[in-house]
Structure 1
Amino acid sequence: MQDIAEQPPWAGVDPVGSSGTPREVLVVCSTFRDHRELPRLARPGLTYLFHDYASTSLEELIDGRAEGLDGVADPIAEIARIRAEVSGRDIAAIVSTDDYPGSALAAVVAKVLGLPGPDPRVNLICQHKYLSRMAQASIVPEAIPPFWAIDVAEGAALPEAIAFPVFVKPMKSFFSIGAQRIDCAAELAEAKRRWVALDDFFLPLERLLEREARVGIGSTRLIAEGLLKGQQVTVEGYAFGGEVNILGVVDSIFFPGTLAFSRFDYPSSLPEDVQERMEEMARRLMGGLGFDNGLFNVEMMYDGREDRIAIIEINPRMASQFADLYEKVDGTNAYEVLLDIGTGVRPSPKRRQGVYQFAASCVLRSFEDYLVVALPSEDQLSALEYLYPDIRVEIHATAGRKLSDELQDGTSFRYGIITLGGRDLAEVLTRFDDVRARLGIALLPVDRAKSVNGGGSRSAGCLQTQGPA
């Protein structure tokens, strides 16, 4: 994280285009996808200020790689700092694609500066799992499983009505960390112990909730829910001027027998009438919540046997991993919608006007830990972009480090994402296999790496990415 004592937490980049004096878009808690996608968009007269605050530290904290937050922990102080830094600048929009704390922080800053953005209170209610469930139950009760708030304080009693097995997750999390099936009270007691000491992780949400909604979290940090079954999807959309619209429905595909994502497919394979019901439910839900002037995504589950749609959770932000899926199939990148809303322009996304009929975001993942021996060079990546001009390649690994040294979900090891388009799923998967082979990623089993470091040949026994990805 940048040293805030020496420089502001953002740095300007060259404008996409210029028309008179460029206006500035403040990208709060900017991500690597923001840096990759925004400069691709031809937006004359706009330049970007990329802001950084706490996200990386929070990831390390929840992942067990840090004992406390370094740098700014109080979001209220950060709001005051942002106001001071942008004073006198021509700010065109305040946007964020960051899950935590970016989207909530951006909503507050937009409100303070009088710019378009979701109501901070609504954003925060969506993010707090229990408050969100309470609101969902009042709007779409038919789609909500039973749920219970869990106090993690030592000696706190469990809700009397709780019925195992349940699915448990923290009131605020990301990357599926801490989300797990719990089959008995003893397992739940073990899960509670993990979260009781993570005051720093919940601090930004606690402080913002106190400011905007006059509620707190305290030690009630977990939520238990009835189990859901079926096919999981993400319904993504946006609200502008009181009107809720849908961008698309994306299928979530898991590795068999796990909760680890294998890929995300667009368009969804669900029947059209089911998708229409999901879209109508998302409109009713987000409209009922009062969500406006922002993007959102609602994770849902469809049980084909019961013909039942259930809501998993709401994310009051765009799903940046899906942004170019829509571009490939529909012809509009979701970042364009983000900029439109942020600058007060009604979005007009295209539909089925993209180069491809199908697109998928495929995950490179292992269920064993490995030492990263080799990663693709810039020349290799350039060659892939020449072969597949619309490809997106993300490498979430570092040569010389173990996969477990990066942010992981606790059950598997993700080390890359490849997004491609094609005629259909079969063609995309064929292209994915080709790309994976060309990447040249080499992984060495951790136990073997220890013996190799003791004097053996380091290249012996390396696993190429066509192995257990």
Structure 2
Amino acid sequence: MKKNVFVIGLNEFNLNMLRHLRGADEIEFHGLLDPALFYETEEFDIPSLLKAAEEQLNAFDGSIDGIAGYMDFPVSTMLPIICERFDTASVSLEALLKCEHKYWSRLCQREAIPDHIPGFKAFDPFDNEALAHIGLGFPFFVKPIKGSGSRLGFRIDKPEDFDYAIERLRAEIGTISEPFDYILDQLQLPPDVSEIGGHYCIAEEIIGGRQCTMEGYVYDGKVTCTGLVDSIRYPQVLSFFRYQYPSRLPERIQDEMARLTDRIMTHVGYNNSSFNIEYFWDEQLDKVWLLEVNTRISQSHSDIFEKVDGVSNQQLTIDLALGRHPNMPSREGQFPIASKFFHRVFSGDARVKRAPTKEEIQAIQKDFPGTYILPQVEPGDWLSDLPEQDSYSYALAYIYMGAQDEESLLSNYERVLERLPFELEKVDDTFSRPAEESQPPA
């Protein structure tokens, strides 16, 4: 009989990749909760979501063999709770929160890899003396103790920047802090963490360099790194241009990142789940910095792993949910190199007048084998209404492509752009706000 695996917020794009996995013909995939509950809102009622998930699972007439998720907050933090209730394989909530709670995570990193993290300080954004209590010199970064996408991260170069950040944080952090506090209440926290609630933020010294993400998993206590993906930005700006796999970083740097990954994930007791860790390599100092730990695969990398390795990193998600060692291949895909491109506009707000039709997209994809185009806008949309955007641009489309080499990859991408008929009606609006998210949390 087929195994039944429930995937929280499963959408069509990811379901297609799940069907390509090794052993997928022996698995029946079920969506758990409507994906709109996570993709189309930034407000999450955790108790209601957990109750709805439990009701759906209890109503299922069959075995529940695995429960999985591939999304960030709140899915990542809900998963251990649901899995414990239904006795399926998962990382413990404590080990997960040692990664997800940014302050607790930095404390653990300071114990395990102290030479590879910046100086940091937790602070209460509702404290009128917060800036004085932080004690870091300008410039530095601030972000919520639990990030959600790239929201509410700010570079602080002067007191006025901090004032602006505090105003935004006080107005908006409740959508993050309230659901995260519910998760924190499920665990007995250590004294140095228990007072740092969901409304707190963390300030960190600046780190930088060539950014990348190490993907991997822990099974039966053994840490395995499965691939390093480069995060490449547009020239002179902080917005991501593409994620590219495999990484171009020197092997010795990749090996060092793998060693650091083993050390920190072992230290926090992480087990039986996937992860991705974001790093910087500062070439001038020849220094590796750990930016943050995420307790899931990156779904942005799924298609490019499939193109290069033969199956997506969802192989880790599903195999681990079933309590078995991941059957992840390496370099068995159709292409030696692959990228997820972010087609962006760098301007003020605008209304979408025209977007490519389904037929136009299919024609382009046919002419460029291996290409998958995922528009993020439709005619009539206002760019300012798009969720999870950075402060410098709006993403009109995600374009997944594979190629034989980097030169062909970039050349083909430019040819695809020439055929994508996006038209915008501009309005008089400029980006005059202080720099946000210049050190993206994810």
Tell me the TM-score normalised to structure 1 length: 0.83
Aligned to 2:354: 374
SS in 1 for 2:185: helix
Tell me, in whole angstroms, the C-alpha distance in 1 between the residues paired with 2:69 and 2:134: 40
Tell me, in whole angstroms, the C-alpha distance in 2 between the residues paired with 1:400 and 1:160: 44
Aligned to 1:86: 57
Q: 1:422 and 2:422 equivalent?
A: no
1:155 to 128, 145, 150: 128
Aligned to 1:166: 140
2:25 to 40, 44, 56: 44
Contact (CA 8 Å) 2:32, 2:53: kept in 1 or not?
no
1:212 to 187, 190, 205: 187
Tell me, in whole angstroms, the C-alpha distance in 2 between the residues paired with 1:60 and 1:216: 28
1:224 to 203, 212, 215: 203
SS in 2 for 1:264: strand
Q: 1:199 and 2:174 equivalent?
A: yes
Deviation at 1:82, TM superposition (A): 2.5
Aligned to 1:175: 149
SS in 1 for 2:333: coil
Contact (CA 8 Å) 1:152, 1:195: kept in 2 or not?
yes
What is the alpha-carbon root mean square deviation over aligned residues? Answer: 2.3
Tell me, in whole angstroms, the C-alpha distance in 2 between the residues paired with 1:265 and 1:282: 20
Aligned to 1:130: 103
Deviation at 1:356, TM superposition (A): 1.3
Structure 2 unaligned runs (5+)? 430-442
Deviation string for 1:68-95 (max 9, x for gaps)? x4xx61x234334423331253112111
Greater shift in the superposed pair: 88-97 or 384-393: 384-393
Q: 1:389 and 2:360 equivalent?
A: no
Deviation string for 1:85-123 (max 9, x for gaps)? 312531121111110100111121112211111111221
Tell me, in whole angstroms, the C-alpha distance in 2 between the residues paired with 1:190 and 1:221: 16
- Aligned letter for 2:156? I
- Aligned letter for 1:340? D
Tell me, in whole angstroms, the C-alpha distance in 1 between the residues paired with 2:197 and 2:310: 45
SS in 2 for 1:162: coil
1:296 to 266, 271, 275: 275
Greater shift in the superposed pair: 408-417 or 316-325: 408-417
SS in 2 for 1:276: helix
Q: Which has the larger radius of gyration?
A: 1
Aligned to 2:412: 431
Contact (CA 8 Å) 2:120, 2:204: kept in 1 or not?
yes
Aligned to 2:434: none
SS in 2 for 1:196: helix
Deviation at 1:207, TM superposition (A): 0.6
Deviation at 1:271, TM superposition (A): 0.7
Relative distance call for 1:57 and 1:116 in structure 2 (3 A) is closer
- What percentage of residue pairs aligned between the two structures are identical? 28
Tell me, in whole angstroms, the C-alpha distance in 1 between the residues paired with 2:410 and 2:289: 29
Q: 1:334 and 2:303 equivalent?
A: no
Higher relative contact order (CA 8 A, sep 6+): 2
Greater shift in the superposed pair: 95-104 or 191-200: 191-200
Deviation string for 1:326-367 (max 9, x for gaps)? 222222311122111111221132222222111111111111
Following superposition of structure 1 onto structure 2, how do residues 2-17 of structure 1 map, counting pairs within 5 Å? Answer: none
Following superposition of structure 1 onto structure 2, how do residues 136-147 of structure 1 map, counting pairs within 5 Å? Answer: 136-147=109-120
- Aligned letter for 1:85? Q
Deviation string for 1:126-160 (max 9, x for gaps)? 11111111111111111110001121114244325
Contact (CA 8 Å) 2:178, 2:198: kept in 1 or not?
no
- Aligned letter for 2:420? L
- Aligned letter for 1:43? A
Deviation string for 1:405-454 (max 9, x for gaps)? 21122331111111111111110111111222223222232359xxxxxx
Contact (CA 8 Å) 1:328, 1:356: kept in 2 or not?
yes
Q: 1:233 and 2:212 equivalent?
A: yes
SS in 2 for 1:371: strand
Tell me, in whole angstroms, the C-alpha distance in 1 between the residues paired with 2:403 and 2:126: 51
Tell me, in whole angstroms, the C-alpha distance in 1 between the residues paired with 2:27 and 2:327: 19
Following superposition of structure 1 onto structure 2, how do residues 45-124 of structure 1 map, counting pairs within 5 Å? Answer: 45-52=26-33, 60-61=41-42, 69=43, 73=45, 75-87=46-58, 88-124=61-97
Deviation at 1:311, TM superposition (A): 0.5
Tell me, in whole angstroms, the C-alpha distance in 2 between the residues paired with 1:274 and 1:446: 46
Aligned to 1:454: none
1:320 to 284, 299, 308: 299
Tell me the TM-score normalised to structure 2 length: 0.88
- Aligned letter for 1:325? I
Deviation at 1:184, TM superposition (A): 2.6
Aligned to 2:380: 400
1:446 to 427, 430, 442: 427
SS in 2 for 1:287: helix
Tell me, in whole angstroms, the C-alpha distance in 2 between the residues paired with 1:404 and 1:39: 35
- Aligned letter for 1:107? P
SS in 2 for 1:393: strand
SS in 2 for 1:389: coil
Relative distance call for 1:159 and 1:220 in structure 2 (3 A) is farther
- Aligned letter for 1:252? S
Deviation at 1:219, TM superposition (A): 6.8
Relative distance call for 1:290 and 1:131 in structure 2 (3 A) is same
- Aligned letter for 2:4? E
Tell me, in whole angstroms, the C-alpha distance in 1 between the residues paired with 2:183 and 2:327: 32
Q: Which ranges of 4 or more aligned residues in structure 1 deviate by more than 6 Å?
A: none
Following superposition of structure 1 onto structure 2, how do residues 243-282 of structure 1 map, counting pairs within 5 Å? Answer: 243-282=222-261
- Aligned letter for 1:194? R
Tell me, in whole angstroms, the C-alpha distance in 1 between the residues paired with 2:3 and 2:134: 56
Tell me, in whole angstroms, the C-alpha distance in 2 between the residues paired with 1:144 and 1:33: 36
Structure 1 unaligned runs (5+)? 1-19, 62-68, 449-469
Tell me, in whole angstroms, the C-alpha distance in 2 between the residues paired with 1:217 and 1:30: 32
Aligned to 1:456: none
